[in-house]
Chain A
Amino acid sequence: MDGKGYGSRPDRTLYDSMIRRRAVLTAALLGVMLILFLLNISIGSSSISLTEIVRILFTGEGQGHKAMIVREVRLPMALMALAVGACLGIGGCEIQTILRNPIASPYTLGITNAATFGAALGLILNTNILRVSEALMVTANAFVFALLASVCIYAFSCRPGAGKNAIILFGIALNFLFSALTMVLQYISDDEDLKSLVFWSMGSLLKTTWSKFLIVLSALIFCFVILYKNAWQLTAMTLDDTKARSLGVDTQKVRRMVIILTSLATAFAVCFVGSVGFVGIIAPHIARQLVGEDQRFFLPLSALLGAVIVALSFVVSKLVIPGVVLPIGLVTAIIGIPVFLAIIFSRMRVI
């Protein structure tokens, strides 16, 4: 098996053509994402034409009302849609990979429901865990509980012999626990608080500010870079544990790293916009159909698709009823689920 007598040139052609196809797909999706991003800035209570947006964004020109709306309101919201979608896409992609389970996601592991419980504590009991200002109370509570759930899952996964199925079961148990606790709070709450909790759990991008966006973006970049550096190890995690270990992968360590990073990304995404759960499941599925499970492409494409799904949902949420912005979580599910089912049943190639 030495390199002689078997020229290295033809070897590359098959591999290179595989890579090229994936690179083209990734570029195309980037284009779609950009279009949706611009549409999100354009659509709103007062519509702003695309040429005007391009001028305001790229030349720095434009004064007055419209430029202010674009810079201070629409731009952070449109960017937040992308960042949140990407966080959820990455979370789903990696949780599915390390647990080798196509229906796993940070949502299934209870992280989102824990955040909802935290929000409920703030909204219904006025509990201010971190003693932050009133405006940030709900967000801070949601974050603390999302992190608490993650720490529980992490601690559990550190036990010797905690395999993938054990982790899933543990996560599902957490999920039910937090939704039961939330229901207790709902039961004792008054109508007004109940309403705000329901709204919170439907998800909304409307309260986005630049600082919130920058926090989510930093979490996203941090997680993405570390995960991408470990792309081959993560690809090997699609194999059975013994096989992955025979390739020199420390499966327990990779699993723990992924749990920390994805929970972090999810916690930041969910605490600012509420529960937008389904993206974490569909984005990786579509990505897998398009590029397979080579993580050098699977990971970025899951992020891109997550961003595209949330951005598209945001566009639709503003168009369905003029003057009303529907909750982003609902629209994502209503658009996402039929698309998801169509893909699954037309290809039938789920893992």
Chain B
Amino acid sequence: MLRIEKLSFSYKPKKDKEPVFQDLDIEFRPGLNAVLGPNGAGKSTLLKSIFGLLSYDGTVWYDEKNVTKMRTEDKTKLMAYLPQTDVETSTLTVLEMVLLGRLPELGRRVKDEDLSSVMETLQALNILHLAPKSLGELSGGQKKLVFIAQTLVREPRVILLDEPANSLDLQKQLELCQMLRRLVETKGISIIVVLHDINLALRFARHIVILDDCGRLYQAGKPEQVITEKMLREVYGIVASVSYDGDGVPTVSAIRSVRDERQGTA
């Protein structure tokens, strides 16, 4: 399974600048992992580092394999990564866009297996009907689903998703998370997903990793272990109540910012 050892990273290596991570150790679990934390905690930076888009100190391990030292081709075979970039336009069709996800396999003639895995991924995300359209004709949420399809179509062992649920409506958010859960169960792969919506993460993830605003690991564990009112106050700076539904899934209702409280008592 994916493990991070003594990860240190700084965007500008200067002494006076605070590093994003300093000797960070995280152990992910097989299945669906969610990374939570406030803005600027380094969630996206963490995924970029794992995928190797940034040069960091420390080591990323997959079982006993050193991912940090892997060649790009091997890394892209092992992992797929969906960056959190703004929706873009392109004259490529949805079919071509998703096909690009299988870039290392593509030759002058596109093989049947590549095409059928594209179609199946589109089907799984309920966007098969969009296949012939060009990306410019789609809504923001539809484009997002196309890029998710592009990430999934590679059938890797580890999938890193940065805010995949952004700009999706509630139904599609739930469908996406259900699909990720199914994928994890049927294929035995691991997914590390950065989510803004705490409640969505609590409902679907088996393992939650919480980073605080200084890029340190605050806590990691099962949803019901890590989600406490104390954590929400210390990490997110909010006063919130945690309740449990019939299945024992915790739900957070945010009440107010800690900063408001301070002002109120002043």
Contacts and interface: CB of A to CB of B under 8 A. Distances in A.
Interface of A: 1-3, 6, 8, 11-12, 14-15, 18, 231-233, 235-236, 238-240, 242-243, 245-250, 288, 292-294, 296, 349, 351
B155 A1 contact: yes
20 contacts: A1-B117, A1-B120, A1-B152, A11-B115, A11-B116, A12-B112, A14-B131, A18-B95, A238-B91, A240-B88, A243-B147, A246-B51, A246-B81, A247-B76, A248-B76, A248-B104, A292-B92, A292-B96, A293-B92, A349-B136
Q: Which of A236, A239, A292 has the most chain B CB atoms closer than 10 A to its own CB?
A: A239
Contacts, number: 102
A2 B155 CA distance: 10
B133 to A, nearest CB: 11
A346 to B, nearest CB: 16
A14 B103 contact: no
B100 A15 contact: no
B126 interface: no
Contacts of B245: none
Q: Which of B90, B123, B147, B183 has the most chain A CB atoms closer than 10 A to its own CB?
A: B90
A248 B91 contact: no
B195 to A, nearest CB: 18
Nearest to A7: B116
A3 B116 CA distance: 7
A349 B91 contact: yes
Chain B interface SS verdict (over half): helix
A246 B89 contact: no
A153 B136 CA distance: 32
Contacts of A249: 103
Given A242-B85, A247-B76, 18 more contacts: A1-B117, A1-B155, A3-B113, A3-B120, A6-B119, A6-B120, A8-B115, A11-B115, A239-B88, A242-B48, A242-B53, A243-B83, A248-B75, A248-B76, A292-B96, A293-B92, A294-B92, A351-B90
B192 to A, nearest CB: 14
B104 to A, nearest CB: 6
B63 interface: no
B73 interface: yes
A232 B82 CA distance: 19
Interface in B171-218: 183, 187
B91 A351 contact: yes
A18 B82 contact: no
B121 A1 contact: yes
Given A1-B120, A6-B119, A292-B96, A239 B113 contact: no
B112 A232 contact: no
B100 A250 contact: no
A293 B92 CA distance: 6
A230 to B, nearest CB: 11
A11 B114 CA distance: 10
B103 A232 contact: yes
Contacts of A12: 112, 115
Nearest to A246: B81
Contacts of A6: 116, 119-120, 123
Interface string B103-135: 110101010110111111101100000011010
A250 B115 contact: no
Q: Which of B83, B104, B123, B150 has the most chain A CB atoms closer than 10 A to its own CB?
A: B83
Contacts of A288: 91
B80 interface: yes
Nearest to B77: A248
A238 B90 contact: yes
Contact of A294 (B85, B86, B96, B136): B96
Given A246-B51, A292-B96, A1 B124 contact: yes
A239 B103 contact: no
B37 interface: no
B72 interface: yes
B101 interface: yes
A235 B90 CA distance: 11
Given A1-B155, A11-B115, A11-B119, A293 B91 contact: yes
Contact of A18 (B72, B124, B132): B132
A243 B237 CA distance: 33
Contacts of B108: 231, 296
